[in-house]
Structure 1
Amino acid sequence: MSSEGEKKGTTVGIIGGTGQMGSFFAAVFRRAGWEVAVRGRKSDQSLDRFLDPCDIVMIVVPIRATVGVIEEVAPLLRADQLLCDLTSLKTGPVAAMIKSKASVVGLHPMFGPGVETLQGQTIVVTPATAPEERYRPMIRVFAGDGARITVTTPEHHDRMMAIVQGLTHFLTLCMADTMRRQQIEIEEVLTYTSPIYRIQLGLIGRLLSQDDGLYGDMLQMNPAVGPVLADCEQAVQSLSDAVESGDPDRFSRFFLENAKKYSVYGPQATLETDHLIRCLVER
């Protein structure tokens, strides 16, 4: 699959290919000139007949269903095939996939199906049994469409997702629930906001307009989330104590300890959020 001619002859079979994310990646591969076969929940074709002509088999199903689908698919694959999944967790799915004769690589697109292209989006790659030359052409397709590629292990991926997804979504939901408990209407809150606060409130509204099952799975099914939330609870208590103490030095110690940790990121964060603010103001 490493040459351009081989790429044109590559067939990708997407299980879950009729859903939004599956359809998105089907379009990505078709634009690259690859053959694409899709399989949804209902199919008259037997699974083994669907899988047989595929060079690459991609599993794109909900998190809770992923391992079960892998266990159904994996025994039917050959050593000359490549198996990958697109779920938000990697340790469990990769462990299930490597029981197959096929070469295995885990994938996690760090975006939802609402994006129009891969431009500027991140895809995390967790190689397992597949040698790089087996999955390199697929990664080139993603990079050619503008994706950023991050390579790591399944275990480190899940630890990072406990922060990037788990902690972030947890705090967003906590903000939403706090305002609800305060019986404050969002319409009134918005009349008091400047653009930077509208961005934060917009992230709350964006999350709550999506699938609760997806976010529940990201928080509940990643074992690395628990220790992160334990640290979060301690951080909340520490900050709460500092605020309630009324002692400015105590608050400053909390603030400056964290400011020191993130000092290198500060200029980049300011530049990027300034850009977001301008976009919101000028829309």
Structure 2
Amino acid sequence: MEPHFNRKSVTIGIIGGTGLMGQWFRRFFESAGHRVLICGRKTELTEDELVRGSQVVIISQPLSAALETARRVGPLMGETQALMDICSLKSEIASAMLESTGAEVVAAHPLFGPSTESLKGQNVVLCPMRGSVWAAWLGAELSKGGAKVTQSDPVTHDRMTAVVQGLTHFITIALGRTLADLGLAPETLLPFATPIFRAKLALVGRLFAQDLSLYAALVGKNPEAAWVIEAFMKACQEAKGSISPGASPETGMGYLENIRDFLGDYSARGLKESDFFLAALAGYGRKTE
């Protein structure tokens, strides 16, 4: 049965709605004119009550908890409702939702954090798993808010995030470990820092200022991350042999030019974009002095 509803006024229930991302989406949907119910470990509203009173149920929890929640609440839902999640990995949770419910299922991944002020320009990946009505509604709501919405499947999503999240965080963690092993604290390095290094160091600090279990999961629980990390380690060895002290200049230039050829026109775009955020970082530094 295809759900019929007023697209401008939907009741959305967020399990884990007291958390940071749950609160972010509560504000987003309420500002769009929708009614939002939330439940968490300390709310009076129970999961059962939330499910019965919602047209769309969004699971906003870490993956391990989200899997249990999907299996628990899925059987309570009807085919005119939608069960969604916002976990960072998609294959396992998408399967759990499909297997546990007859409702429409959408596996979603907002590629930003709760400190993001606006949805404008942010990436969101949607993996419609069953039905199309609620997936289309969610995509339209996110697009109206300015998001760049991409449809994918869970396997492709997890392969891509093995690079954009898994590899990124692996490199950041390794840089932090390297500084610790060298005994070089940020305060020691900052007087010598270039704008590029300041940006990289800030990203190290940013990661370690947040929930470390999340970053451990993004690297360690994505099965696609293993081959990506192996490729990176191989690239490190190649770079060591090509541009380290003692390597011939010809070898080094050939190595670098090969990478530049692969990047193509993106190099110029990357230069322009990085000039923008490095200027913003410099401005922030002046304000805090």
After TM superposition, the score normalised by the length of structure 2 is 0.92
Is 1:83 paired with 2:56?
no
Q: Which amino acid aligns with 2:37?
A: A
Distance 1:43 1:26, change over 3 A: same
Q: Is the 8 A contact 1:77 1:102 kept in 2?
A: yes
Counterpart in the other structure of 1:130 = 131
- 1:68-217 equivalences in 2 (<5 Å): 68-99=68-99, 100-131=101-132, 133-217=133-217
Q: Is the 8 A contact 1:60 1:87 kept in 2?
A: yes
Task: Tell me the distance in 2 between the aligned counterparts of 1:77 and 1:166.
Answer: 33
Q: Is the 8 A contact 1:172 1:204 kept in 2?
A: yes
Q: Is the 8 A contact 2:63 2:93 kept in 1?
A: no
Counterpart in the other structure of 1:281 = 282
Secondary structure of residue in 1 paired with 2:192: coil
Task: Tell me the distance in 1 between the aligned counterparts of 2:21 and 2:88.
Answer: 12
Structure 1 unmatched ranges of 5 or more:
none
- 1:248-263 equivalences in 2 (<5 Å): 248-263=249-264
Count of paired positions: 281
Task: Tell me the distance in 2 between the aligned counterparts of 1:197 and 1:146.
Answer: 31
Considering Cα pairs closer than 8 Å and 6+ residues apart, tell me whether 1 or 2 has the greater RCO. 1
Q: Deviations over 1:137-192 (max 9, x none)?
A: 22222222221111111110000000000000000111111111111121121111
Root mean square deviation of aligned Cα: 1.8
Task: Tell me the distance in 2 between the aligned counterparts of 1:164 and 1:125.
Answer: 16
Q: Which amino acid aligns with 1:69?
A: T
Distance 1:113 1:105, change over 3 A: same
Q: Deviations over 1:229-257 (max 9, x none)?
A: 11111111111122254222222222122
Q: Deviations over 1:63-100 (max 9, x none)?
A: 22221111111111111101110000001110111121
State the Cα distance separating 1:134 from its structure 2 match.
2.4
State the Cα distance separating 1:53 from its structure 2 match.
2.0
Q: Is the 8 A contact 1:7 1:33 kept in 2?
A: no
Percent same amino acid at aligned positions? 32
After TM superposition, the score normalised by the length of structure 1 is 0.94
Task: Tell me the distance in 1 between the aligned counterparts of 2:238 and 2:15.
Answer: 47
State the Cα distance separating 1:45 from its structure 2 match.
4.4
Is 1:59 paired with 2:59?
yes
